[in-house]
Chains A and B, each alone.
Chain A
Amino acid sequence: MGRPTSSSSSIDSPNHFAFSSTASSQRDLTTDLRLGLSISIAPPYVREQWPPMKAAVAEEEHECNCSTFYVKVYMEGIPIGRKLDLLAHESYYDLIRTLEHMFHTNIIWAEAEMDRDHYEKYHVLTYEDKEGDWMMVGDVPWEMFLSAVRRLKISKC
């Protein structure tokens, strides 16, 4: 049991994003390797829903920033969500980079191209707008997105 951590099938391979060549070179490969190894030797317990705590208690440490806009981010299959300050990002690219790092996956959004043969390594990023509809991220200008977004969801392809 174990997930391959070499570059050929890992989430590091750079050739499936139009813009990502800089993004992936900044990725921390040692972190990915270490996590990949630890997951591969971990016992086959359900990693989700453990340890037994309510989601709200484990908040992320973040910088003091008087102007913040936190939204919840859930990844499909993982019941404990994360929180992300959208105002700490300047653009969609910035946001995507943070999310890919946070959730260790490749993100599909309005401006991403993907390798259709390996769709299982991708997740689609959507957001819930003020009307309660789920929309793909990236279609409207960033500022408009900020005024409409209520929460984010990362779903399997």
Chain B
Amino acid sequence: MQKEMAYSFPDEVLKHVFSFIQSDKDRNAVSLVCKSWYEIERWCRRKVFIGNCYAVSPRMVIRRFPEVRSIELKGKPHFADFNLVPDGWGGYVLQWIAEMAGAYPWLGEIRLKRMVVTDESLELIAKSFKNFKVLVLFSCEGFSTDGLAAIAASCKNLRELDLRESEVDDLSGHWLAQFPETCTSLVSLNISCLGSDEVSFSALERLVDRCPNLRSLQLNRAVTLDKIANILRRAPQLVDFGTGNYAAELQPDVFSNLAGAFSSCKELKSLSGFWDVVPAYLPALYSICPRLTSLNLSYATIQSPDLIKLVSHCPRLQRLLVLDYVEDSGLEELASSCKDLQELRVFPSDPFGVEPNVSLTEQGLVAVSLGCPKLQSVLYFCRRMSNAALVTIAQNCPNLTRFRLCIIEPKTPDYLTLDPLDAGFGAIVEHCKDLRRLSLSGLLTDHVFEYIGTYGKKLEMLSVAFAGDSDLGLHHVLSGCESLRKLEIRDCPFGDKALLANAAKLETMRSLWMSSCAVSFGACKLLGQKMPKLNVEVIDETEPPDSRPESYPVDKLYIYRSVAGPRFDMPPFVWSMDEAVKILH
């Protein structure tokens, strides 16, 4: 026996060291060092993130990590946001809650995205976790205000209740009154998604009154402008505020009351809401505009001149969400006023109109790329684009990490040259070496995918629609993009060849979605047979895929890696290609 191994520390020391390691990637690396590190680490992991709720089962998570305090789960694929995933597809959280109720009595935080959450699930949460602190339901559905009442009533130390973009059956506003008088712990409350029924405003006021740590409050549209001042005066410590509807007849006393209330909020940095904006009330914000770092005007149907005036008062703006009413002129103003801008999202005011209703073109985005050197994240809806503009944007903003462009009419070419936009997007992936997320649009051939496969080495998520010529396009992406985790494709001529040739790649990714492409049922079955660690699911609402020839293309295909095997909660229109699951329909 030569020397004592230096790393035989007592477990408590290792545990203490590990407690400083927060990132999942690092924790996973730690657990691979040796068996004893694996054991120690798994007992002290407190936070688990599960990007696909079907990739692993609740039992497996509980078995490996017995002392979890915080869990985050995601359910439906991203394209569910655009109604491509039929109702009833899945993503139910109940089973998770039921198993965690028994295993994690100290669970304090649940964050869910795109999952189906029933009132029963919420009631179970309320009953089971004595130290429950944080509930975030992002883009979820399936529950009503009754479920919320259960949470409000039982969770004595609730800190965060965030329902952003969820679909809630708004049965009555009285659930807010269920928060007991002893509840003073709220830090964040987001009820912006609630419907137009009356929110019990007096209950809300009393709640805000007794929660001195409230930092983030997003009201729903039913709350009228005249009520804002009351709320703000009760919570001058707010950092993040979402108004309800921002409309009223212009009355000087209402205006000055509102302006005064806003100016008393010295910490306010982020604003949203602004349904039904009456421009005359926007100057009430001017006193806080110099401090604003985030402004969400995506519901504000106001015209460019009013938007320009507002934005020019916000030199510290880092994040702006706005409708295309801002127009090129508004974006030029943004580019000259807001040098700290990091994120810009421009949404279409009239997405289904045939003719443009506003003067918003590629020029606006080019102006922002020139004027805002810190720009990292772009989501831009427009009606025309050119390769030249994209090249300019790429050269101006090499630090882009997210670039999502949606040219509204599918397969629109470069409006100047009528060429495909391959070269433009090619420039984006070539110059933006840290690009993690990309959405394509316009006329695109297989060449754009060649660029993406060659340069998109850090690309983690790619969204493709109405693009490409052949399987070669898909092959470039699957074989070239080393960091790819999520790929979603619709209406592209990609078939069996690229998919089968790159089957192994799919095990290194979270998921692949393909709809209205050319992948045959036979290829899906083959993939399901050969790749036991993948769940290959075919979605078809019209008829069973095996009622047609094997060479027939499937309507929708969702492939994801899983250690839990095929799921058993599939609706009749989802077929698993796993050999072990009989196709019985």
Contacts and interface: CB of A to CB of B under 8 A. Distances in A.
B351 A35 contact: no
A35 B83 CA distance: 24
Interface string A34-56: 11001000010110111111111
A155 to B, nearest CB: 16
A79 B348 contact: no
Contact of B408 (A43, A51, A61, A66): A51
For chain B, what secondary structure do more than half of its interface residues adopt (helix, strand, loop), or is it mixed? Answer: loop
A66 B350 CA distance: 24
Nearest to A56: B165
Given A57-B299, A59-B299, A70-B196, A51 B351 contact: yes
Which of the listed residues A55, A56, A58, A62 has the most CB atoms from chain B within 10 Å of its own CB?
A58
Given A59-B275, A62-B276, A51 B196 contact: no
A52 B298 contact: no
B6 interface: no
Contacts of B84: 49
B82 A52 contact: yes
Contacts of B253: none
B381 A53 contact: yes
A58 B83 contact: no
Given A43-B410, A49-B84, A52-B82, A58 B276 contact: no
A57 B298 contact: yes
Which of the listed residues A34, A46, A55, A57 has the most CB atoms from chain B within 10 Å of its own CB?
A57
Nearest to B278: A64
B301 interface: yes
Given A45-B491, A53-B82, A66 B348 contact: no
| Interface size bracket, B side | 35 or more
A60 to B, nearest CB: 8
Contacts of A119: none
Contacts of A57: 298-299, 347
A69 interface: yes
Nearest to B277: A64
Interface in B446-481: 463, 465-466
B248 interface: yes
A43 B196 contact: no
B316 interface: no
B4 interface: no
Interface of B: 79, 81-84, 165, 193, 196, 224, 247-249, 275-276, 278, 298-299, 301, 347-351, 354, 381, 406, 408, 410-411, 439, 463, 465-466, 491, 516
- A-B complex: 3 closest residue pairs judged by Cβ atoms: A79-B83, A61-B301, A64-B247
Given A35-B354, A51-B408, 14 more contacts: A38-B354, A45-B410, A48-B83, A49-B83, A51-B381, A52-B406, A53-B348, A56-B193, A57-B298, A58-B349, A59-B301, A64-B247, A64-B248, A79-B83
11 contacts: A43-B410, A45-B466, A46-B516, A49-B84, A51-B351, A52-B81, A55-B83, A57-B298, A58-B351, A62-B276, A70-B196
